[in-house]
Each structure stands twice: as structure tokens, then as C-alpha cells.
Structure 1
């Protein structure tokens, strides 16, 4: 039995910190010398990508309080049992599908978005039971440095990015 269930406040904190990490990633990129990027790097494209993710997150935030307890229970189970890196990769793919317009279903609320995450991850093997603190695990779904993994795109070509400390993200 999990004792510390995730709350809508935990989810809201996660989304706010993700939005802040994306914003800080743009600031980080803006501070890099142009020579750090490949000649095919499209600044406008990646700036728009970050902006669109933040816009989508802002759309989800007002709906977080409507996430039903049963959904929070499922999210708690995922946070406690799945490796955060695994959940992070699924979240990144889900965000990318939505922001790029490749996802046909309407995921315009936090309940629908996290419901899609639960559906995507359900049935997948999660390895040995971790029984980790769900709140701490949830925050590990956030990759504070390059949260959208843009630096890994071959077009970007700026290699290693500076690391940001997730604990020091300013609260939005």
C-alpha cells in the first residue's frame, strides 16, 4: 500500500517546474556562442518548439485540480514503481506528439494528458518494485538540463549542455 499519494498540487509543481526548465533551457542556449551549433541549426524552429511546449503546459495547468483521485492513484503507482528515466522518455514522446500535431486525440486537460501517459505505460514491464517516494520520483520525470532533449537532435550539434540544478528552479 502506498502511503504518500500524489496530489494535484504535486502535479502542478511538476508542470510548473517543467515549464521553467524549458524557459531556462532557452536562456542557456541563448548564452552559447553561435560557433557551438552546426550550420544547419534552425534557431527559430527550436525556439518555437520550446514556446509551443510551454504554451501547452500553460493550457494544462488550470485543469490540474480536476484530475480525479483514481488518476492520481495510478500516477502514484507509476511514480513509485517505474524508473523515472523510463517515464521521462514516454512523457517527452507524448509531449512531442501533441505539440507537433501528430497526435489525433484531444488531450486538452491534465486529466486527459496524464490519462494518455497511464495508458501508454500500462502493461509495460517496470522491473523490480522500487517503492520509491512518489513525489520525489515525479520530480525526476523532469530532466532539468535540456528537458526536451533538443541537444540530442543531430541538427543542433552543440554537444554538451551546461547542467542546471532542478532544486534551484524558480517556482512559477
Structure 2
């Protein structure tokens, strides 16, 4: 039996928290002294990367109420059935597709999360349920460096965010 089914409000909360985390990540990076960065670091590129993600999140927020109940039920199954890190990796790949190429078929919350559900269906489920779907969903991406930019070798500032 699934936990309480996710609601459009849960989806909006997740997206809002992600957008704020991306904004705070940019603020944290802006506060770092220049010597913390690799000489290959491209500030404009990473700033644009964060901006594109936040713009797409705004589009998803505007359409979250249109997610049908059956899809919310399936997304609940993803949230409680798969390791949060695995869902987070897939989620980041979807966001990257949009940010890099403007993938228009992922422009609404329904299509975006529908693709997430489809991609997760081929993954191995976790063996035991831990917590609610809401709690699990909030673990999909970290609040510090949610886009994992600091992990890119050209950045060089990852050690300073620890």
C-alpha cells in the first residue's frame, strides 16, 4: 500500500525549494574569493545553467495543478519505491536536457514528471520503504549544490562548500 498520495501542492513545494536552493547556491558561489576557482571555471556558463534551471522550474510551477491524480499516484510510487539519490540523478538528467536544449516536450509538470516516472520504471526498486513520499521527494536533490556544479572538475571550489 502506498503512503499518502502526493498532491500538486507537494510538487509545488518541491519545485519552490529546489529553485531557492539553486538561488542560494549561486549566492554561495558569488561569495567565494576568486582564488578558490579553477582557471577553467566559466562563471557566465554556470550562472546561465542555474538561471535556465530556475526558469524551467517556474514553468513547471505554473502547470503543477494540471497533473492528473493517476500521475500523482504513480509519482508517489516513485518517491517511496526508489532510492532518493537514484531519482535525483534521473531528475538532474531531465533538467539538463531542458537547460541545454530547450526540450519543449518537457515544458509542463505533467510531461516532465511523466517522463521521470517512465524512466524510473526500468530501475531497481529499493528493498524497504523509509518515510513518506513527501519526505523522500525532498531528498531527491541536496539543498547545497543541488545541480552538482561544484562536482564538475573545472569548477575547483567543491572543497570549499563542505
Provide the TM-score with structure 2 as the length reference.
0.95
Structure 1 CA distance for aligned equivalents of residues 161 and 53 of structure 2? 21
Report the CA distance between 1:143 and its aligned residue.
1.0
Q: Does 1:35 align with 2:35?
A: yes
CA contact (8 A) 2:3 2:133 kept: no
Report the CA distance between 1:162 and its aligned residue.
3.0
Q: Describe the superposition over 1:20-70 as per-residue Cα deviations: whole angstroms up to 9, x where unpaired.
A: 000000000000010000001010000000001000101111100000001
Structure with greater proportional helix content: 2
CA contact (8 A) 1:6 1:135 kept: yes
Corresponding pairs, count = 162
Structure 1 gap segments, 5+ residues each: 164-172
Structure 2 gap segments, 5+ residues each: none
CA contact (8 A) 2:41 2:156 kept: yes
Aligned to 2:83: 83
Structure 2 CA distance for aligned equivalents of residues 139 and 3 of structure 1? 15
Mean Cα deviation higher: 114-123 or 127-136 = 127-136
